[in-house]
Structure 1
Amino acid sequence: MAINVKSGKKTDPSTGLVVSWSPAKEHDDPKLFLLVIICLAINIVCNLICNITGIPFYFDCIGTIVAAMIGGFMPSVLVGFLTNILSTLLFKWIFGGDSSNLYYCIVSVLIALCATLFAQHGYFKKLHIKMLIPLTCFIILGGGLGSVITWGLYGNTMGEEVASSLAGRIYTNVINDAFLAQLYAGMIMDIPDKLISTILAFIIYKTYPKKLKPTKDRIDVASLAKKGLSLSGKIIIAVTLIFGIAAAVVTGVSLKQFRQTMVESEGKYAMDTARFAATLIDANKVDEYLTRKESAEGYYRISRYFNLILNSSDRIQYLYVYQIKEDGCHVVFDVSTPDTPASETGDIIPFDESFDEHIDDLLAGKEIDPIITNDTYGWLLSAYVPIHDNLGRCKAYVCVDVSMPNVAEVERTFTFKMTTILMGFFIAILTLSVYCAKRFIVRPVNSLAKLAGDFAYTNDEARKEALDSIKELEIKTGDEIEQLYDAMAKTTKDTVDYINESQRKNEAISTFQSGMINVMADLVESRDKSTGTHIKNTSAYVEIICEELMKEGLYPDIVNEEYKNNVVASAPMHDIGKIKISDTILNKPGKFNDEEYEIMKTHAEEGAKIISTVKKTVESDALKEDYLGEAENMAHYHHEKWNGKGYPCGLKGEEIPLSARIMAVADVFDALVAKRVYKPGIPFDDAMKIIKESSGEHFDPVIAQAFINAEDRIRAVTEQLH
C-alpha cells in the first residue's frame, strides 16, 4: 500500500485504486480562519439588521449553519459561540443597554453541533423534503430551548424578546399557563426564522468558492463504538472532567460569594432604610407614643411616612418600631401589609427563639448586625437600629425586615445565567480542545499508525513507495510527536535497508542452493546414461501441472505460488537416490531381471534418506518443511500409485503426498516420450492417451486431468525438450 500524503490520497499498487485518507493539512488553517470570520460577519450583520429595523426575527444562526456545512464542527461551534459574545458587546455599544444574547450561547453551539451532524449525513446536499428534519431540530433548539432560557431569565414576565407579545396573546386567549405560552410562542416564531435561515445558509453554501473551502472536520461518532477508547474519546473525557470539576468549584465559590454579597447588600439596604426611618422619630416622645398612641403629637405623620417607605420598595417586607423590655417587644409603630395587619400600639410581641442570643444586647440598647430568621413571619433579614433620647438612653428600635425569598430569586437567576454561559463555554472549549488535539496529536499519530500498518515489505518497489510516503508526511509539530516521527522514519529506513541487504544475501544463497541442487542432479544424471535430460524435463512438466491446478482452483488449501516454487525447485532431486545404485544396473541397456529391479527400486528410499540427512543440518524450519520437505516427499513417493500398487510403501490415494502425485505424472510422461538407449520415444498423443487411461489407477485423477487440460502447453514444452 502506498500513500501519497501530499495529495491526500492512498493508492494500492496492486490495483491502482485510490483509498480515502486525509492527513492534517496546514494550509487549511487560513481557510478555516477566513470561514469563521465570514460566517461571524453574516450572523452579526443579519442580527443587527433585525434589531435596528424591528423585524421579528433573529437570523443569528445563518453563518453557524454555513460553517457546519462547509467546515464541520469546529468552525461552526466557534461561530455560534462567538456570535453571542460579539452581539452582546455590540448591542451594548450601539444601543447602550444590556443584552441577554450571552445567555443563549448554549442554543447557538447546540445548533452548530446539530447542523454538523446533519451535514455529515448529507441532509444539505440539495433542497429536499428531508431538510425538514434538521429544520425541526433547529426550531426545537432555537424556539424550545430558547424559551426555556427566557423563562429562566425572566420568569412570568415572558422575557424581552420578539416572542413575548405572541406569548401574551397565547396566554390570554389559548392556554392559561405562562410557561407553555412562552414555549409555544418561541417555537412558532422560530419556524419562519429557522426556515429562512436554513435556505439562505444553503444558498451561501452552494455559492461558496470551492478553492476557499477547508477540509471538513467530522464528528467521529462511530469511533465511540469501537473496542477500546480512542485518543479523541480520552481527550473528550479528560476535558469534560477537568472543566466539570473546575466549573463546579467556580460555580460553588461564585454562588457562595454571590450569596454573601447579596446578604450583605440586603443587610446594608435594610440598615440604611432603618437609619433613615429612625431620623423621622423623636426618641424623647416614644413613651408618649406608647401611652397616647394615635393622639400623640406627630404620631400620624410618622405613620404616614412609614407607609410611604414600606410601599416605595418591593424589597421591604415589614417596617415597625419596638421598645425592647424584659417581657417582650412593645409595639410603638407598625405598618400594615396586604398579607399582615399591623399590630396595635402598646401590644407586646413575645421574643422569637431566633432572637435569644441577641436579647441581652437589645435590652442594653446596643446596635446589632442584621439577623436572618425563618419563623412565624417567613424567611426574613431583619435590621435593628436603636434610637436614643437626649440623655443617650435607647428608647426603641426601628426595625426593617427584608424578604429573603427575593434574595433567593435573584440567586436562582444568577445561578441559571452562570449555568447557561458555562454550558456554552464548555462546549466551545471542548470543541477547540478536540480540534487542537486532533490537529496536533491524533492526526499525526493516526498518520504514523496508518503508514506503519499499511507499510509493504513485499518487494523493492513497495518498500520504496512506503518509505517515500513516510518522508512526504513531514510532521512538523515541534514536540514529542515530531520526535516520534523522526525516530520512526529513521527506524523504518534502517529496517528497509536491512531487509534489502538480507534479501540480496538470501537471493545469493538461493542461487547457490539451486546451483548445488542442479549440480547434484546433473551428477546423478551423468551416471544414468539412459535418462538424458529427464531432470530438466520433469521440472518443466511439474511447473505446468502446478500452474494448471492454481488456475482451476484445485487443492486450494495447498497449491499456491509459494508451494509451486518449492515443488519446482526441489523437483530435480526426485531421483537423487540413484546415486546409490551401481553403474552396472543404472546403465544396463536391456530390461532388468527381478533382482536388479528390486535393487533399482531402492533408489526411492535412498533418495529420501539422503535428503533427510541434509535436513538435519539445516536450522531453518521453513526450509526443512517446505523446500526440503517436498524434495523428500517426491524422492520417496514418486513411484507410489493411486491404487496402492506402487513402491516403496504401497501408499494409495491421498495418503501419497501431493507433490509426489504431481511428480508421478511428470516422471512417467517424460519416460514415455523420451528416447532411451533401449527404446524409442512414443508419440505425444499416445503418451497423453496412456496418462488418461492410467487416471485413477496409477495417477491421481485430478492431477491427471489437470495435465490433460494443459495439453497445449505440455505439447509445446515436449517439442522444445525432445
Structure 2
Amino acid sequence: MLFCFMAERGYGMLKGKIDNNRMLQAVSVIAGITVNFIPAYLMHRFSLPLYFDTAGTIFCAALAGSLPGIVTAVATSILCTAFNSYSIYYTLIGILIAIVTAFFMRNKLFEKRKNVLLYLLILAVIGGCIGTVFQWVLFGKPQFSDVENLAERFSDGSGAGFFFFSALINTGLNFLDKSLAAGLAFLVLHFVPPQRRIAIINCSWMQKPLTEQEIAELNRSPKGSGISVKDRLTGLLILASVLMALVMAASGLAFYSMNLKKEYRENAIKATELAKKVINADRIQDYLLSKKTISDYEDPEYRRTYELLCAIRESIIGIEYLYVYQIREDGCHIVFDTDPEIYNIGTHINDIESFDESFLPYLPTLLAGERMEPLENDDRFGYFITNYEPLYDSQGECVAYVGADASLDFMQSYMRDFSFRVLLVFSGFFVLILSSGLWISMRYLVYPIKSLAVMVTGFDPENADQEILDQNTKKIASLDIKTKDEVEQLYHALCRMTEGTAEQMRRVRHYAQISSEMQNGLIITMADMVENRDSDTGAHVQKTSAYVRIILNGLKRKGYYLNKLTPQYMSDVETSAPLHDVGKISIPDAILNKPGKLDDEEFAIMKTHTTEGMRIIDKAIERVRGGEYLKEARNMAAYHHERWDGKGYPEGLAGEVIPLSARVMAVADVFDALASPRVYKPAFPLEKALDIISEGAGTQFDPKCVEVFMDSLDEVKAVLKKYHG
C-alpha cells in the first residue's frame, strides 16, 4: 500500500512535472514511519510499558489528511514486526488515531483548548481500552508484566475486575504515551507554514479543491434519488474486503487442517508400525492370562516392551495414546496401555474396555483380524485420528491390535485463536482498503462527476440571461478537473459544449432582439395607423402601455396571479398592448371622430371594434410564424370592454373568466379616457378619475388590478406628466 501511495504521489514526476506538494506529502509519510519505528524499537528494547509509535502517524494525519496518516500507521505496524511479531495485530489502533487526528484538524477543533484534552483522552481510550481487548485476545492477560502485576494488586488477578483495572492502567499509560507523541508531532507541525499545509492537503484533489460546505452539499442526495455512487462503491468495497478475508481465512484454516490431519495420520501409522516391532506377539496370550496390574507386572520382557512403547508415544508428535488391545466380542481386552492415568489407577492386564458407539461400525473388521484405514473420531474421549494395526503371532494369527491415537483436540482451540488473530489483522487492513478505495473513488470519480452535475444543472440556456449563462460557463471551466481519464475527457467535452451553447445563445438572443424590435415597430406602426384616424386619442397607445406595465408590476409585487405573471407573459402583454384598439380601423370616420354622443346605432357599430380587432389579430397569428406573443394582443383587443360583473361586451364575460391581460387593459384604457381630453368632453381632474376607477373595483374592474394601480400613483402621475405636461 505504501508503494501504491508513493506511486500516486510521484505521478507528476512520471509526466515530467514535479509537484512539490505531492513530494512533500510522500516525504512526510516516510519521515512519519521513521519517527514511529525508532522510538518503538527503543521502547521494546528496554521493555518499557510504552509504545511511542504514533508521533509520525499524528504528524502525517494533521499535515496531509487521514489517508497519509493511515498509510503511515499500517506501514509502521508492518515494519515493527521485525522486532515485535505482535505489532501487526495493533494496526487498527494506529489507523483510528490517524482518523481522529484528521477529523480534529479538518474541523478546526484544536482552536479551543478544551478540545486538546478531549483529543488526548480519545487517543488514550483508543490505545488503552481497545489495546487491552486485543491483548486479552492475544495473550489472555496484559502484554506487559508491570501492568499485570499492578492490576493484580487491585483485583483478584482474574475475572472482570482484573480486566477493568488492566484497561484503566493501560489507558493511563496511553494518555502519557499519546500526549508525548502528539506534543512532538504538533511541535514539528508548528514549523510548517500554514499556506504550505493547505497546499499539501489540497494537492490530493483531482480538481479545484472543495470546501467542507461544498462537500456537504455534494454529499446531500436529492429527494427521491436512488443509491449514490459513493454508497454503491462503499458497499462494494466492504463486500469485497469481507469476502476476501473470509475466503483467505477459510482457505488458510482448511489447508492447515488438511495438512495437520495428514501429518498426524502418518504419525499414527508410524507409531503403530514401530510398536509392532518391539512387541513379541507370541507372548500376548501369556500377558493376558497373568491378569496382573500393569504397574506391578514384573515380567522383564513385558516391562521392557512397556517402556519402549512409552518412548515411542513420547517421541512422535501428536500421539496422545499408544496401546495394545485384544479385540473380542465382549470388548477390548487390555494388553498394554501407555496412558499414565491408566497406569496410576492400577488397571489390570486383561481388563475389558467396552466399545464406544462410534467403534461399532468397524467391529466386524477388527474381529476378523483385518487391516483398516486410519479413522477420524470425535467422541466422548476426544477428537482423534486413530490407526489400528493387526499384530500377528508366529502362526499368522491376529492376536491383538496396536492402536495409536493422535489428538486433534488442540486444533479447535488453535482455529479459534487463529480466527481471532485474522480478525485483528483484517480489521486494520480492512479500514486501509476501504479508506484507499473511497479516497480514489471520491477524488477521481464521485466529486468530479457530482461537481459537473451541479454545474450543468445550473446551466439553463433557455431561462438564464446571457450574463448568468457566461458566468455558469466560467464556473464549469473553473472546476479544472485533471483525473487523466475518461472523467477528464467528459469534463473537456462539457466545457466545449457549454461554451458553444453560450455563444450560440448569444447569437440567438441577438437575432431575437432584432426580430423583437421589428415586431414592436410593426405593432407601433399599426397602432399609429389607428390613432391617426382617431383625432381624439393623442398618445393613447403609449399611455395605456405604460399603465399596463405599472399594473403588471404591481400585481407581481403583491404576489397576485403569480402562476400567470411569468417574465415572458408580462413582456408579451406590454409589447402587444398598443394593438388593443386595432379594431377601430374598421369603424367609419364619422362615428370614430364624432364630437357628440353616439346614438344607439352608432354605439353598436363602435362596439364592433372589439370583435374586428380579434378577427384582425387572429389572421395575423395564422399567417405570422412565431406570432404567439399576439395571443394576448387578441385577448386585449377582444375583451378590454368586458366588465368584472359580466355586464360588458362583446361576450358578457365575468370575473376571472375574462383574460387577465384584458382586465389589466380595462383599467388602463378607462383611466386614460377619463384623464385625457376628448372632443366630446374635457379631461377629468386626477382625483375625480381615480375616484371613478376606485368605485368600479369589483363591478367594472378586477379589484386586484385597481388595488395595485392605486398603490402606484407616483408612477401613474409620472406618465401623466410626461404626456400632459
TM range, normalised to the smaller chain?
0.7 to 0.9
Normalised by the length of structure 2, the TM-score is 0.78
Alignment of 1:390-405 (within 5 A): 400-405=404-409
Q: Taking every aligned residue pair, what percent have the same amino acid on both sides?
A: 33
* Maintained 8 Å contact 2:337/2:343: no
Out of 270-279 and 535-544, give the one that drifted further.
Answer: 270-279
Is the 1:329–1:350 contact (alpha carbons within 8 Å) kept by the matching residues of 2?
A: no
**Superposition map of 1:210-609 within 5 A:** 210=194, 211-212=196-197, 213-215=200-202, 227-268=225-266, 294-297=297-300, 300=303, 316-321=319-324, 328-332=332-336, 334-337=338-341, 341=345, 343-347=347-351, 349=353, 354=359, 357=362, 370-375=374-379, 377-382=381-386, 400-457=404-461, 458-551=464-557, 553=559, 556-559=562-565, 561-609=567-615
Equivalent-residue separation in structure 2 for 1:372 and 1:678 (angstroms): 125
Residues 31 and 214, structure 1, Cα contact 8 Å, conserved in 2: no
- Answer yes or no: is the 8 Å Cα contact 1:65–1:198 preserved in 2: no
Task: Give, as a single letter, the amino acid of the residue that structure 2 aligns with 1:434.
Answer: L
Aligned-partner Cα distance in 2 for 1:414–1:85: 19
Shift of 1:653: 5.7
Consecutive unaligned residues of structure 2, counting only runs of 5 or more, are 1-18, 206-211
Q: Deviations over 1:338-395 (max 9, x none)?
A: 99746334546566653865986898797x7654333453323345678999999999
Separation in 1 of the partners of 2:584 and 2:379?
119
Q: Distance in 1 between matches of 2:465 and 2:688?
A: 43
User: Post-superposition shift, 1:517?
Assistant: 1.0
Q: Contact 1:589 / 1:677 at 8 angstroms: preserved in 2?
A: yes
Paired residues of 1:143 and 1:186 also in contact (CA < 8 A): yes
* AA in 1 matched with 2:639: Y
Residue from 146, 169, 174 that aligns with 1:188:
169
Cα deviation, 1:550-581, whole Å, max 9, x if unaligned, reads 45555555445444322221110011110010
Q: Aligned pair in 2 of structure 1 residues 413, 535: CA closer, same or farther (>3 Å)?
A: same
Asked if the contact 1:692/1:705 (under 8 Å) is kept, the reply is no
Checking the alignment, whether the CA contact within 8 Å between 1:319 and 1:335 is kept in structure 2 is yes
Choose from 138, 152, 170 the match for 1:153: 138
Report the Cα distance in structure 2 between the residues aligned to 1:459 and 1:505, rounded to whole angstroms. Answer: 15
- CA deviations over 1:672-693 (Å, ceiling 9, x no partner): 45455666656xxx22442234
Aligned to 2:572, what secondary structure does the other structure show?
Answer: helix
Deviation at 1:644, TM superposition (A): 5.9
Structure 1 pair 342/377, CA: closer, same or farther in 2 (3 Å)?
Answer: farther
CA deviation digits over 1:221-270, x for unaligned, max 9? 97689742111111122223333333333322221110112223344555
Q: Is the 8 A contact 2:97 2:123 kept in 1?
A: yes
* Residue in structure 1 matched with residue 716 of structure 2 by the alignment: 714
Which of 96, 100, 108 does residue 86 from structure 2 map onto? Answer: 100
Instruction: Answer yes or no: is the 8 Å Cα contact 1:611–1:631 preserved in 2.
Output: yes
Q: What is the DSSP-based 3-state SS (H/G/I as helix, E as strand, rest coil) of the residue aligned with 1:128?
A: helix
For 1:228 and 1:339, locate their aligned partners in 2 and report how far apart those are by CA, in whole Å: 73
Native 8 Å contact 2:614 2:638 kept in 1: yes
Which AA in structure 2 matches 1:318? Y
CA shift digits 1:502-535 (9 cap, x unpaired): 3333323322221221121111112223323221
Select between 352-361 and 434-443 the one with higher mean Cα deviation. Answer: 352-361
Question: Over residues 588-614 of structure 1, what are the superposed CA-to-partner deviations in whole Å (9 max), with x where a residue is unaligned?
Answer: 344434433332232223223322343
Q: Secondary structure at the match of 2:378?
A: strand
Give CA deviations for 1:443-501 in whole Å, capped at 9, x if unaligned. Answer: 22212212211214212222233333334444444443334334433443444344334
In structure 1, distance between residues paired with 2:652 and 2:350: 133
Cα displacement (A) at 1:582: 0.9
Residue identity in the other structure for 2:452: L
Deviates more, 1:435-444 or 1:45-54: 45-54
SS state of the match for residue 113, structure 2? coil
Partner residue of 1:696?
Answer: 695
- Size of the alignment, in residue pairs? 677
Q: Cα distance, 1:43 vs. partner?
A: 3.4
- Deviation per residue, 1:684-705 (Å, 9 max, x gap): xx22442234313255555445
Q: How is 1:161-200 mapped onto 2 (pairs within 5 angstroms)? A: 161-162=143-144, 164-167=145-148, 170=151, 174-175=155-156, 177-178=158-159, 181-182=162-163, 184-194=165-175, 196-197=177-178, 200=181
Q: Give the superposition deviation at 1:313.
A: 9.6
The superposition leaves residues 242-299 of structure 1 with CA deviations (integer Å, 9 ceiling, x where unpaired) of 3333333332222111011222334455566667777877888777776777333365
CA distance in 2, matches of 1:441, 1:679: 77
Task: State the SS of the aligned residue for 2:502.
Answer: helix
The CA deviation at 1:121 is 6.2
Deviates more, 1:462-471 or 1:571-580: 462-471
Q: Structure 1 residues 350, 552: CA separation in 2 closer, same or farther (over 3 Å shift)?
A: closer
- Are 1:323 and 1:332, in contact at CA under 8 Å, matched by a contact in 2? no
User: Which amino acid is the alignment partner of residue 243 of structure 2?
Assistant: I
If the length of structure 1 is used for normalisation, what is the TM-score?
0.79
8 Å contact kept, 2:128–2:173: no
Instruction: Name the aligned partner's letter for residue 359 of structure 2.
Output: S
Q: What residue identity is the alignment partner of 1:247? A: A
| Residue 43 (str. 1) matches residue 36 (str. 2) | yes
Q: 1:568 to 1:399 in 2, by over 3 A?
A: same
Q: Secondary structure at the match of 1:56?
A: coil
CA distance in 2, matches of 1:325, 1:715: 130
Three-state SS of the structure 2 residue aligned to 1:401 is: strand
CA–CA distance in 2 between the matches of 1:222 and 1:80? 28
> What is the CA–CA distance in structure 2 between the aligned matches of 1:661 and 1:335, rounded to whole Å?
114
Q: SS at 1:174's partner residue?
A: coil
Are 1:610 and 2:616 matched, yes or no? yes
Aligned equivalents of 2:573, 2:146: Cα separation in 1: 91
Cα 1:396–1:637 shift into 2, 3 Å: closer
CA distance in 2, matches of 1:346, 1:619: 120
Residue 632 (structure 2) aligned to one of 620, 630, 633: 630
